[in-house]
């Protein structure tokens, strides 16, 4: 079985070794064809605590790590504005 992957934006990094990633899904309405966007939030494991709010990340499916965590951060694609300010 192939592991699922999603790309989303980190919206919360307040927990230890956990980030909340918002993944937006855009699709046309079946009848009216207007583009609808739905957002789903996933709790993902971030072992090194290197993700910050605003980062664009790729998450992958994993075994259950806690009651709500079933995803882990596989890579950080782009750093957000908050991350860039902290680096300077």
The architecture in CATH of the region 5-87 reads Beta Barrel (2.40)
In the prediction, which pLDDT does 42 show? 98
| Domain locations in the chain as residue ranges | 5-87
> 22-81: per-residue pLDDT in tens?
999 999 999 999 999 999 999 999 999 999 999 999 999 999 999 999 999 999 999 988
HEC letters along the chain: CCCCEEEEEEEECCCCCEEEEEEEEEEECCCCCCEEEEEEEEEEECCCCCCCCCCEEEEEECCCCCCCCCEEEEEEEECCHHHHHHHC
Q: pTM higher than 0.85 for the full model? A: yes
Rounded Cα distance between 57 and 8, Å, is 6
In the prediction, which pLDDT does 83 show? 65
Rounded Cα distance between 22 and 12, Å, is 9
In the prediction, which pLDDT does 1 show? 65
């Amino acid at each position: 079985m192939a592991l699922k992957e999603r790309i989303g934006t980190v919206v919360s990094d307040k927990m230890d070794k956990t980030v909340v990633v918002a993944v937006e899904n855009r699709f046309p309405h079946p009848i009216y064809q207007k583009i609808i966007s739905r957002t789903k939030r996933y709790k993902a494991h971030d072992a090194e605590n290197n993700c910050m709010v605003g980062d664009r990340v790729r998450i992958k499916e994993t075994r259950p790590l806690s009651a709500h965590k079933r995803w882990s951060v596989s890579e950080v694609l782009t750093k957000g504005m908050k991350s860039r300010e902290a680096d300077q």
